[in-house]
């Protein structure tokens, strides 16, 4: 290892480890003295990712207390809820992104940004192996080392293909701004190709068949956007082929939007039917070819559907970097990084994880079933009555909103469903549960409540919570037992993270939006569309993007969407 002084004031020393990582040279940004030798040195916080979790953490962090470094292959924050609007030109891509350096510019203290990805964590030595995604560095490998005192992992997730053959090669994803731009070009290419004089009607129909796989919020919103684009703009511009357009939404489950209230699901399915969007439920896509999609339904068998453009939106999977990290720390059997309720990765010191790449380990929820049972069994009968079960479930739901979400999403808030889990009979009304049956039912809930929903809402609340903890870290270190009111033996000095569900929207096209707000308040129609406009405008990270988004909506309203293939 060679150590030499650098001219720039940013890293004080550069360490070149010439034989590291299979011969690749790594440049390490290291301070002159380790933290313990230099007590005045600010602790280094490294944040991986500039998405919802990372950016919210940075915006709320008192950066004057730390030496902050941000590492992400994206030098901007993207407002993902408006990505479906970008696919059809309702909103322009640049209106929903904010350069991360503009966000950091407003912060106090020493914050650096490296446009790079982290590919390995060494939690023992508190080092990160990173690689510039523009491949420039002193020796051209683009790799460098960063050390940290605290690490915040907020790298999100990637699209999940469930290893379905042909998906990566032939389908579009809708995860990043670039994906939305590609979809927009592809839609227009399909229309232009279908307008050419030398192709058959069958080929025209194929080109104009748009298939969306996945009936979750993203797939549904994209289908609605595309339908609006076709009916409000493209049918005027392409009158000769407008009747050949077909939009299909394929969902493996029995319904679309299953994470929403039943009333919203039903409304969405009926609306899509009226709009002519072909909702195919119960179909599982098994392979995607260049021109056709193969899918199966038990009652129907296998069908092959020709298509012009397909968008794959079936949920999220683990990033390879996170999979590797999980293997390294003994979480290899999991799908996402498990944290405790303080968002700490338990196996590593000073590593925190937020957003889509992490989940709070729910095992704690059901940990002490006997204790829960004992408290619930008020008459000490050794069994729980329906009333007692209801009380205990309500209590669990209050303490663990994730569980409530699960129960709602599976329509399990009905107590009979819980009893059915325990005794396999949904019809019994006057039943009493023994502790064994109660355990079985709770275990069933526990096995399925693995994740907080992978939403921007969760990621940003976690980022904000963690920043608040970091802002108080110094104070807490000086008073290790914490303020009396939150001091509990053996516990962390901060209150645990609690997710507060603020509701969710499902835009369904034609200025109709479904809103599910806390307290089971449901609103569907144009008024919710206005609520959607105001919430999304207010949630923008800067006045610049807020203005751009609002003017895009106005432009679209006055002039329609732009149909050029740029």
217 or 308: whose CB is closer to ligand FAD? 217
292 or 512: whose CB is closer to ligand FAD? 512
**Shortest reach from residue 175's CB to ligand FAD, in Å:** 5
Q: Name the pairing type of β-strands 309-312 and 172-173.
A: parallel
Please state, in angstroms and rounded to a whole number, the distance separating the CA atoms of residues 17 and 559: 58
**Shortest reach from residue 403's CB to ligand FAD, in Å:** 19
| Residue sitting closest to ligand FAD (CB) | 51
356 or 377: whose CB is closer to ligand FAD? 356
Please state, in angstroms and rounded to a whole number, the distance separating the CA atoms of residues 370 and 439: 8
* Nearest CA-CA partner of 211 in 238, 243, 179, 186: 186
59 or 319: whose CB is closer to ligand FAD? 319
488: CB partners within 8 A, 6+ apart: none
**Shortest reach from residue 160's CB to ligand FAD, in Å:** 12
115 or 388: whose CB is closer to ligand FAD? 115
Please state, in angstroms and rounded to a whole number, the distance separating the CA atoms of residues 90 and 533: 13
Distance (Å) of CA 110 to CA 14, 45, 147, 201, 475: 18, 11, 15, 62, 20
**Shortest reach from residue 245's CB to ligand FAD, in Å:** 22
Q: Check: CB of residue 549 under 8 Å from CB of residue 82.
A: yes
| CB atoms inside a 10 Å sphere around CB 440 | 16
Please state, in angstroms and rounded to a whole number, the distance separating the CA atoms of residues 472 and 461: 17
443 or 522: whose CB is closer to ligand FAD? 522
**Shortest reach from residue 316's CB to ligand FAD, in Å:** 8
**Shortest reach from residue 315's CB to ligand FAD, in Å:** 10
Token pair 């209106």 is found at 95
Q: Check: CB of residue 355 under 8 Å from CB of residue 493.
A: no
50 or 265: whose CB is closer to ligand FAD? 50
292 or 339: whose CB is closer to ligand FAD? 339
- Residue 45: CA atoms inside 13 Å, Cβ hemisphere, count? 27
**Shortest reach from residue 346's CB to ligand FAD, in Å:** 19
Taking the CA atoms of residue 102, residue 104, residue 105 and residue 106 in that order, the dihedral angle to the nearest 10 degrees is: 100
**Shortest reach from residue 461's CB to ligand FAD, in Å:** 10
**Shortest reach from residue 313's CB to ligand FAD, in Å:** 8
Q: Check: CB of residue 173 under 8 Å from CB of residue 159.
A: yes
374: CB partners within 8 A, 6+ apart: none
156 or 509: whose CB is closer to ligand FAD? 156
Please state, in angstroms and rounded to a whole number, the distance separating the CA atoms of residues 84 and 87: 5
| Longest Cα separation, the chain | 81
97 or 473: whose CB is closer to ligand FAD? 97
Kindly tell me the sign of the dihedral angle through the C-alpha atoms of 445, 447, 453, 458: positive
Please state, in angstroms and rounded to a whole number, the distance separating the CA atoms of residues 179 and 257: 22
Phi, psi (rounded to 5 degrees) for 150: -125, 135
Please state, in angstroms and rounded to a whole number, the distance separating the CA atoms of residues 310 and 187: 10
- Based on its alpha-carbon atoms, the radius of gyration of the chain, rounded to whole angstroms, reads 26
**Shortest reach from residue 25's CB to ligand FAD, in Å:** 20
**Shortest reach from residue 71's CB to ligand FAD, in Å:** 5
176 or 278: whose CB is closer to ligand FAD? 176
105 or 429: whose CB is closer to ligand FAD? 105
Site residues (CB under 6 A) for ligand FAD? 48-54, 71-74, 80-81, 83-84, 117-118, 154-156, 174-175, 218, 319, 321, 355-357, 454-457, 459
| CB atoms inside a 10 Å sphere around CB 338 | 20
41 or 344: whose CB is closer to ligand FAD? 344
**Shortest reach from residue 479's CB to ligand FAD, in Å:** 31
Token pair 């290291």 is found at 30
241 or 466: whose CB is closer to ligand FAD? 466
Phi, psi (rounded to 5 degrees) for 399: -75, -30
Please state, in angstroms and rounded to a whole number, the distance separating the CA atoms of residues 284 and 280: 10
52: CB partners within 8 A, 6+ apart: 77, 80, 154, 355, 456, 459, 460, 463
Please state, in angstroms and rounded to a whole number, the distance separating the CA atoms of residues 503 and 340: 24
* Nearest CA-CA partner of 50 in 177, 154, 150, 134: 154
Q: Which tokens go with 99?
A: 């350069």
**Shortest reach from residue 85's CB to ligand FAD, in Å:** 9
**Shortest reach from residue 500's CB to ligand FAD, in Å:** 13
């Amino acid at each position: 290892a060679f150590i030499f002084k650098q001219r720039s004031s940013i890293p004080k020393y550069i360490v070149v480890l010439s034989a590291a990582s299979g011969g690749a040279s790594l440049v390490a940004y290291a301070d002159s003295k380790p933290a313990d030798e230099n007590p005045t040195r600010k602790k280094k916080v490294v944040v991986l990712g500039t998405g919802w979790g990372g950016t919210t953490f940075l915006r709320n962090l008192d950066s004057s207390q730390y030496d902050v470094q941000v590492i992400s292959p994206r030098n901007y924050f993207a407002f993902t809820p408006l990505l479906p609007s970008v696919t059809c030109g309702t909103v322009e891509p640049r209106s929903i992104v904010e350069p991360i350096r503009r966000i950091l510019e407003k912060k106090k203290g020493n914050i650096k940004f490296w446009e790079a990805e982290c590919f390995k964590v060494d939690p023992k030595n508190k080092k990160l192996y990173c690689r510039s995604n523009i491949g420039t560095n002193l020796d051209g490998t683009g790799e460098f080392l960063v050390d940290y005192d605290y690490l915040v992992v907020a790298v999100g997730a990637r699209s999940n293909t469930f290893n379905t053959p042909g998906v990566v090669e032939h389908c579009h994803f809708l995860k990043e701004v670039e994906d939305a731009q590609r979809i927009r070009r592809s839609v227009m290419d399909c229309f232009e190709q279908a307008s050419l004089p030398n192709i058959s009607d069958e080929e025209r129909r194929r080109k104009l068949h748009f298939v969306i796989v996945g009936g979750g919020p993203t797939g549904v919103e994209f289908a609605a956007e595309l339908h609006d684009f076709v009916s409000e703009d493209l049918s005027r511009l392409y009158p000769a082929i407008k009747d050949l357009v077909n939009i299909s939404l394929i969902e493996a489950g029995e319904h679309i939007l299953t994470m929403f209230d039943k009333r919203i699901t039903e409304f969405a399915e009926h609306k899509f039917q009226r709009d002519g969007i072909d909702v195919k439920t119960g179909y599982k896509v098994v392979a995607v070819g260049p021109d056709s999609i193969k899918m199966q339904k038990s009652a129907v068998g296998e069908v092959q559907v020709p298509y012009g453009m397909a968008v794959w939106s079936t949920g999220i999977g683990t990033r390879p970097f996170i999979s590797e990290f999980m293997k390294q720390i003994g979480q290899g059997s999991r799908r996402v990084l498990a944290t405790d309720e303080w968002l700490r990765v338990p196996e590593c010191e000073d590593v925190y994880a937020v957003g889509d790449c992490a989940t709070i380990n729910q095992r704690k929820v059901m940990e002490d079933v006997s204790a829960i049972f004992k408290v619930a069994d008020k008459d000490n009968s050794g069994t729980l009555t329906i009333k007692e079960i209801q009380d205990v479930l309500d209590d669990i739901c209050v303490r663990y909103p994730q569980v409530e979400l699960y129960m709602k999403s599976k329509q399990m808030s009905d107590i009979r469903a819980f009893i059915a889990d325990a005794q396999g009979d949904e019809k019994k009304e006057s039943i009493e549960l023994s502790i064994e049956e109660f355990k079985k039912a709770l275990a069933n809930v526990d096995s399925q409540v693995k994740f907080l929903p992978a939403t921007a809402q969760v990621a940003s609340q976690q980022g904000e919570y963690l920043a608040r903890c970091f802002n108080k870290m110094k104070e807490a270190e000086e008073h290790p037992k914490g303020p009396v009111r939150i001091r509990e033996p053996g516990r962390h000095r901060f209150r645990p993270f609690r997710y507060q569900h603020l509701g969710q929207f499902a835009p369904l096209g034609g200025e109709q939006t479904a809103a599910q707000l806390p307290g089971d308040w449901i609103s569907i129609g144009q008024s919710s569309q206005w609520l959607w406009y105001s919430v999304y405008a207010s949630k923008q990270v800067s006045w610049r993007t807020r203005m751009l988004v609002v003017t895009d909506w106005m432009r679209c309203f006055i002039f329609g969407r732009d149909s050029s293939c740029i």
